[in-house]
Structure 1
């Protein structure tokens, strides 16, 4: 399988020519060589950060239009499509895909949607196959149907093959066949009704993936929610820090939601009950999410509807995700947190201490710092559980991340489970993108003796050109030989990799 670069070079070239600038003139304005600009325009160099900003300013191109992130997602989806066994034997040139996405973006989007629908249908088939094996109701109905068909077949064979049976025996066999046939009808109808209900429950896209893709399409940044968060923070805490007890009192006073630690929830009472092992940042986050969902229900609903989701289940998940976004923005106000991140060179552990939040909360907030004209360092984000399954993701152009399942075993997100500290690594992906990957484990709650802690691994990724802006680039040979990684084993083209766990596509 071939990985493809984002085709933004052609867009830059067209804008440069329309502006009447030569490569030499534009390169001089940007402070780079004409040969380097030529590589960019021919999609042989990835760009980002301040250089991307300067190009946008000089050519009058909006950064969102210039970054090529939507094209990168489409190209990655086409790459996943070409990795499917169904496509074996079909060769496609990288330039052809770049041209398709650059010249006919709707066609590229159509291919991406078709692949997503195909993946969802395949998953549904696997689910039904598992259900046929393990569902007791299905097993019972199928067993009954097979038994009755066997009875009918046996009686019919006797009538057809044994000529000297008595008339009484013949009537008895005919009666048995009629009875089995009549009893077979309602069982078969029940089975058909069961599958009709299953079919009605099917969705063209899984709700979680649909919500993920919608949020990623909005660059995981919602200016209107930032405004809401700023207003709610002033309402809750003024200019001071978020304190747990006043927040709990505000929740109960305004919305009748009581908060307590320990015990079990009363189903008839609106309350938040926290296990006594829940860390303070997690308690505050949940209270803020509840406050935001009640105080800004109408605004959250408007933002959710703009995501254009297809099912009620997806819309419910989106409302929860958007409420969580507001909660994180209340805990870490945009401008203050961005300034703190820049000042401390994106040291996530230090930022979590300074902001009074968890490592995961600080890492996730960094990914949302995409405000136009005041962007933070662009990060990709991943979370994995102990089984290796990816449970949260936010990709970057060139950083190929599977939509579900497991990632590359060579990512430091998996190494982090073996240590209590931060693991960092310079990696190169099959498409040529070089990234600084930083990972650390986090525990969702403190465990009592005898309890197994709920542990995840969090990984941030940034283009290696930004690595020196972070503390994590210190002491690393950023120009040395990187670790060769892939997206996951099936689509990875590194056929000689000793860590491969799946047959390559």
Structure 2
């Protein structure tokens, strides 16, 4: 039922809250109780002076009767209901607006708790990913354990009761002091490092992380006029001219020489992509075909991977959907990641082997297009384009160096683009269910699972059942 058709229900709820009898309210506004009863059961439309009089008698704003609860609150409650499908008792989704209108405080609490749960789930996913695959964390834990072992060994020697030369006693005590200092410092750094997981201000710990944090601060896009300026290998602008791009590249987020070198490489590639695909051509393709990298490549003569990068790094604009991008080298290691809400590629460790990115890696120069459904609350669907191409000129005796690129577009943006251009939707085959990586993916019946998940209950028995 449309929200505007529920005015009678809101009148009945408000009258109950005010403790008014139906006959008394009807008399005060000059209508019969029978007619008010029809209004309250949404069997008669209401408006004009009568609606204004009812709002006055009920001590409520007119909009509260005509519009009810705010749309964002209704949407949040509907999302919470969709994510709680596993409950034994069914959720009365047809009475969500009634609940929000009658108990706005409780409805707001449910919406707030749903948001907090979502944030905690993302933090657990990020923490699990880091605990399983972060090499820095592994080295730090090894250092802490080694220091604890050294302190324990020294304390055992001193506690043995044997006669120890005074000089050796002094040396042992000094070693214990130095080891304890190192243990305290290392433990504090480890706690601080883990405390950043899943937070918006997460500190980068590698050159690639620094570059991605810098790009995220620019929404993965730079002004078109900035991309017209060549970049030097050292991370600055070629020549003496200083532009806003130079200031961005030398920002505080790029603290290491390695990060500045990676940023310079990214900027030079972005400049070449922008030169090959001018904004006018990009806008024309978006208007006619939506975010389709094949259409952009055909119009401009650029390769598919460059078209994907160009679309994924466009500046934000009204009506322009945000697009995600991920690249990997020949080993499958992710070398770039631009996440989207509902699809965040892992920062550490291997990704899901069912991604079209890896299907393209198996067959270079053969484009792949799939609809993928990413595991989440709720699951999100994306149209993914992927291609694998050589990144250096190949020779008869030279090693083959390739890079796979995957652009993923929210399925809603694809449907909206098809509707605007009055063209049929693309036939892309069956939906492929994917995840982030096996460690934090709850899809139990996945044929590509390589290790048990932390999110699927009894992970050991589930994984053994799958293998057997």
**Partners of 2:170 and 2:73 in 1: how far apart?**
78
**Partner in structure 2 of residue 67 of structure 1:** none
Aligned to 2:406, the other structure's residue is in SS state strand
Cα displacement (A) at 1:374 = 6.9
Q: Is the 8 A contact 2:77 2:110 kept in 1?
A: no
**Partner in structure 2 of residue 379 of structure 1:** 323
**Partners of 1:489 and 1:95 in 2: how far apart?**
35
Aligned to 2:309, the other structure's residue is in SS state helix
**Partners of 1:301 and 1:111 in 2: how far apart?**
38
1:412-468 Cα distance to aligned partner (Å, 9 max, x none): 111112213012211222323222122111222134445432323211111224446
TM-score, structure 1 normalization:
0.51
**Partner in structure 1 of residue 5 of structure 2:** none
Q: What pairs up with 1:55-204 in 2 under 5 angstroms?
A: 98-100=111-113, 123=134, 124-130=136-142, 156-157=161-162, 174=164, 177-184=165-172, 187=175, 191=179
**Partners of 2:144 and 2:437 in 1: how far apart?**
29
Q: Is the 8 A contact 1:438 1:472 kept in 2?
A: no
**Partners of 1:467 and 1:313 in 2: how far apart?**
40
Cα displacement (A) at 1:476 = 2.6
**Partners of 1:117 and 1:490 in 2: how far apart?**
11
Q: Is the 8 A contact 1:382 1:394 kept in 2?
A: yes
Aligned length, in residue pairs: 343
Cα displacement (A) at 1:44 = 5.7
Q: Is the 8 A contact 1:426 1:436 kept in 2?
A: yes
Aligned to 1:426, the other structure's residue is in SS state strand
Indicate which of 418, 432, 436 corresponds to 2:383: 436
Does residue 490 (structure 1) correspond to residue 439 (structure 2)? The answer is yes
> Which of structures 1 and 2 has the bigger CA Rg?
2
Q: Is the 8 A contact 2:236 2:246 kept in 1?
A: no
**Partner in structure 2 of residue 410 of structure 1:** 354
**Partner in structure 1 of residue 449 of structure 2:** 500
Aligned to 1:458, the other structure's residue is in SS state strand
Indicate which of 219, 222, 225 corresponds to 1:227: 225
**Partner in structure 1 of residue 314 of structure 2:** 369
Cα displacement (A) at 1:354 = 5.8
**Partner in structure 1 of residue 209 of structure 2:** 209
**Partners of 2:292 and 2:374 in 1: how far apart?**
24
Indicate which of 369, 380, 396 corresponds to 1:424: 369
Q: Is the 8 A contact 1:211 1:317 kept in 2?
A: no
Q: Is the 8 A contact 2:325 2:339 kept in 1?
A: yes
Cα displacement (A) at 1:381 = 0.9
Aligned to 1:490, the other structure's residue is in SS state helix
Aligned to 2:438, the other structure's residue is in SS state coil
Change (3 A) 1:397 1:419: same
Q: Is the 8 A contact 1:427 1:483 kept in 2?
A: yes
Cα displacement (A) at 1:366 = 0.6
Change (3 A) 1:425 1:187: same
Cα displacement (A) at 1:382 = 1.2
